[in-house]
Structure 1
Amino acid sequence: MPYRLLKFALKKEHDEPRFFRALETPKKSYDAVIIGGGGHGLAAAYYLAKDHGITNVAVLERGYIGGGNTGRNTTIVRSNYLTPEGVNFYDASVKIYEGLSEELDLNLFYSTRGHFTLAHTESAMRTMRWRAEVNKHVGVESYVVGPDEIAKACPQLDLSCSGKAPILGALFHAPGSVARHDAVAWGYARGADRLGVEIFQNTEVTGIDVQGGKVAGVQTSRGYIATNRVLSAVAGFTPRVCKMVDVKTPIVIHPLQACVTEPMKPWLDTILVSGSLHVYVSQSSRGELVMGSSLDPYEVHSTRSSLDFVEGLTSHMLDMFPFLSNIKVVRQWAGMADMTPDFAPIMGKTPVDGFYLDAGWGTWGFKATPISGKTMAETIARDKAPELIHSFRLSRFEDYELTGEKGAASVGH
């Protein structure tokens, strides 16, 4: 038994500090209120304090820290998107992730694996070449590889996929990584708390006070809080929060499910994605296979999981890896994916003065956690969105200037 653990076992009182303060009652007013205690909201709070010196900030979470989509995703970090705007944005996030464990003084289990997006048709191969060229143009390491290179990286993979959808090639993205999702949320929470930000769990926002087109405060389950700056970072709950301020978005909510297997000895060193088979998979530091699929095809504001999902996913997994037939699936879950028509997020200011939006993350939110926090913090502090997220503004839907990222989704939606 490690000495540190034995020391705790023998002590009657434990002096190990909490990750962040357990606060009960919010103050009457704050310079900014962030709705949503997931990775994005906590990162925004951290960078507001760290980069802009705004520490009189409250983060309000209706459940528990990281209990939403931050704790329900499959932890893949990448920047091999289709548009220059998307590639630049996610690449900035990858660069922050690479040094984030040191910055937050917490092991995030960040592991660079390499990311293969498999192509099973000539049409898919054309898309891979397209993405590779866009990536290279902005300095991101992605290139098209053939079956031999895929087999070398993952010899366990059946390249014929049981004869149903033979693999013709792939887009290889060298920076593709995985990280521990709950560690990211708790790391940002601790970092924000140490800088003076106040975090309140089990605190629901029931209304937003708007006076003369400007935010004046929020009504919560713990009372009224006066503030003139509110950030909504609530993923699948975005339509409900936006309704409080009468802001309309094109977001629709679909369930997105995932599951893990029992632990195995390490064998899958890379990340594999198949749009045709609707599968993405990596192996965690504990040896589990972390697997996901495409969105459920109906709009439901729920986190229930289904037998249909796990049956379909495991069937395709066996097409790729027949030797897994005796491996047990031990846990499955769902999150609420806030989807936009162009498969890009909505970030920045809204028609309501002082109400800021970080939403529309669909299946790609976790990888953007650091850079979304950094850019939204700048937007709140300066009341102006940085150029990096200009293409993600809400008004693009009225201006007909969409950012088409559908071709770079991990799986077919």
Structure 2
Amino acid sequence: MPVERMWRSHDLKPTYDVVIIGAGVHGLAIAYYLGKRGITNVAVLDKGYLGGGASGRNTAIIRSNYRTPQGVAFYDESVKLYERLALELDYNIMFSQQSHLTVAHTERGVTTLRERAETNRLLGVDSRLIDREEIARLVPALDVSDRPHQPILAGLYHPPYARGVDRQGIEIHPHTEVTAINRQNGRVEGVVTSRGSIAARAVINATAGWCSTIAHMAGIDLPIVTYPLQALVTERLKPMMHVVLVSATLHVYVNQTDRGEVVIGEEIDPYSSYSMRSTFRFLENAAAHTLELFPCLSRVKVLRQWAGICDMPPDFAPIIGPVDGVEGFILDVGWGTYG
């Protein structure tokens, strides 16, 4: 019985209405929603395989409890899209809704969480500050005693695309690297790729950590710095938590997948780099900080660790939309660690 292909292979056409650079979540989502609006003469290009960049290297956490009114509203709408995406695409994206719990270890941290809870509630996102007793009921495996070096004081509690693109006639071209962007008279004319040149009326940059490199091809300097972000995953365990737990003080977050693995991540590395090599320093720090929270994981085996790269703007806000002076060049960049 032949294996069903997720998308078809295509020869490059000489001209498209839209060329999207980057076949990750953002690039494919842009293509999908363009297709829903009747714009299907579109090519999605990627120098590697689909989802091989940041989309395939994140820890798959989606949330809407951010600090600013703009962020809360924007990401809350994103969560609503994910809630119906599996049905819309006719594909199991393994989306499950869990609670989100950010713990505070200092009085200042408690004040910050209280402010975030108020912002979330004003915008219709269910969040509330909870005490150690309720935290212990939510996550029995978590050490909420006074024994750790940084004991928990309180917590902010937040309760609980490629096949679709192909069906619309949009072309996906993996292993097709963009090497130059053609411009003339202040507008883009197309791109040069490792497989030939393409004319296009619009070129969209959705390349995450590589977005500055692509923008430079269009003569644009972005205020974005690229940093590595690392994570690890353990062997499978019996269900022990149904929340995504975050500690800003310990710079660590912990989540258990539906399959039972525990995924652990930390903040971005302290240096700018395009390297996607994992480091022993991260492994050592992540393990130490996680054991402050979950001593019960001390004998659990780590299966693997990895790194991706993040496009970090100075104000931690994404840059979306057209660019002055380069007509037809559109940005979807600067999402950093938020996605």
Provide runs of 4+ in structure 1 moved above 6 Å.
Answer: none
| Distance (whole Å) between structure 2 residues aligned to residue 348 and residue 274 of structure 1 | 33
| Distance (whole Å) between structure 1 residues aligned to residue 3 and residue 270 of structure 2 | 46
SS at match of 2:213: helix
| Distance (whole Å) between structure 2 residues aligned to residue 171 and residue 331 of structure 1 | 30
Residue 70 of structure 1: aligned partner: 55
Residue 298 of structure 1 aligns with an amino acid whose one-letter code is Y
Aligned pair partner of 2:126 in 141, 147, 150: 141
Residue 6 of structure 2: aligned partner: 19
SS at match of 2:310: strand
Residue 179 of structure 1: aligned partner: none
Q: Deviations over 1:171-219 (max 9, x none)?
A: 11114xxxxxxxxxxxx11101100000001000000001111010100
Q: Deviations over 1:359-411 (max 9, x none)?
A: 1111110xxxxxxxxxxxxxxxxxxxxxxxxxxxxxxxxxxxxxxxxxxxxxx
Aligned pair partner of 2:336 in 349, 356, 362: 362
Check the 8 A contact 1:161/1:320 in 2, yes or no.
no
Residue 20 of structure 2: aligned partner: 34
| Distance (whole Å) between structure 2 residues aligned to residue 256 and residue 92 of structure 1 | 25
| Distance (whole Å) between structure 1 residues aligned to residue 170 and residue 145 of structure 2 | 53
Residue 211 of structure 2: aligned partner: 238
Q: Deviations over 1:321-357 (max 9, x none)?
A: 1111111111100011110111111111112110001
Q: Does residue 111 in structure 1 map to residue 111 in structure 2?
A: no
Cα drift, residue 17 of structure 1: 2.3
SS at match of 1:227: strand
| Distance (whole Å) between structure 1 residues aligned to residue 241 and residue 227 of structure 2 | 29
| Distance (whole Å) between structure 1 residues aligned to residue 175 and residue 136 of structure 2 | 48
Residue 271 of structure 1: aligned partner: 244
| Distance (whole Å) between structure 2 residues aligned to residue 327 and residue 357 of structure 1 | 42
Scaled by the length of structure 1, the TM-score of the pair is: 0.81
Residue 167 of structure 1: aligned partner: 152
Check the 8 A contact 1:281/1:290 in 2, yes or no.
yes
Cα drift, residue 79 of structure 1: 0.4
Residue 296 of structure 1 aligns with an amino acid whose one-letter code is D
Residue 134 of structure 2 aligns with an amino acid whose one-letter code is E
Scaled by the length of structure 2, the TM-score of the pair is: 0.98
Higher strand share: 2
Residue 411 of structure 1: aligned partner: none
Q: 1:161 to 1:297 in 2, by over 3 A?
A: farther
Give matches, 1:117-136, under 5 Å.
117-136=102-121
Residue 327 of structure 2: aligned partner: 353
| Distance (whole Å) between structure 2 residues aligned to residue 54 and residue 257 of structure 1 | 37
Check the 8 A contact 1:151/1:159 in 2, yes or no.
yes
| Distance (whole Å) between structure 1 residues aligned to residue 76 and residue 150 of structure 2 | 31
Higher helix share: 1
Residue 253 of structure 1 aligns with an amino acid whose one-letter code is T
Unaligned segments of structure 1, at least 5 residues = 1-13, 176-187, 366-413
Q: Does residue 54 in structure 1 map to residue 68 in structure 2?
A: no
Residue 83 of structure 2 aligns with an amino acid whose one-letter code is E
SS at match of 1:26: coil
SS at match of 1:241: helix
| Distance (whole Å) between structure 1 residues aligned to residue 198 and residue 172 of structure 2 | 14
| Distance (whole Å) between structure 1 residues aligned to residue 25 and residue 50 of structure 2 | 9
| Distance (whole Å) between structure 1 residues aligned to residue 185 and residue 142 of structure 2 | 60
| Distance (whole Å) between structure 2 residues aligned to residue 234 and residue 161 of structure 1 | 45
SS at match of 1:31: strand
SS at match of 1:118: strand
Residue 302 of structure 2 aligns with an amino acid whose one-letter code is V
| Distance (whole Å) between structure 2 residues aligned to residue 300 and residue 267 of structure 1 | 35
Residue 135 of structure 1 aligns with an amino acid whose one-letter code is N
Aligned pair partner of 1:293 in 259, 266, 270: 266
Over the aligned positions, Cα root-mean-square deviation in angstroms equals 1.0
Residue 101 of structure 1: aligned partner: 86
Give matches, 1:317-328, under 5 Å.
317-328=290-301
Q: 1:139 to 1:235 in 2, by over 3 A?
A: same
Residue 150 of structure 1: aligned partner: 135
| Distance (whole Å) between structure 2 residues aligned to residue 27 and residue 130 of structure 1 | 53
| Distance (whole Å) between structure 2 residues aligned to residue 220 and residue 276 of structure 1 | 45
Residue 15 of structure 1 aligns with an amino acid whose one-letter code is P
Q: Deviations over 1:75-120 (max 9, x none)?
A: 1111001111110000000011111111111111111110001111
Aligned residues: 338
| Distance (whole Å) between structure 1 residues aligned to residue 72 and residue 290 of structure 2 | 29
Residue 140 of structure 1 aligns with an amino acid whose one-letter code is V
Q: Identity percentage over the alignment?
A: 54
SS at match of 1:354: strand
Q: Does residue 216 in structure 1 map to residue 189 in structure 2?
A: yes
Cα drift, residue 163 of structure 1: 2.4
Q: Does residue 334 in structure 1 map to residue 321 in structure 2?
A: no
SS at match of 2:273: coil
Cα drift, residue 161 of structure 1: 7.0
Give matches, 1:172-251, under 5 Å.
172-175=157-160, 188-251=161-224
Q: 1:161 to 1:36 in 2, by over 3 A?
A: farther
SS at match of 2:15: coil
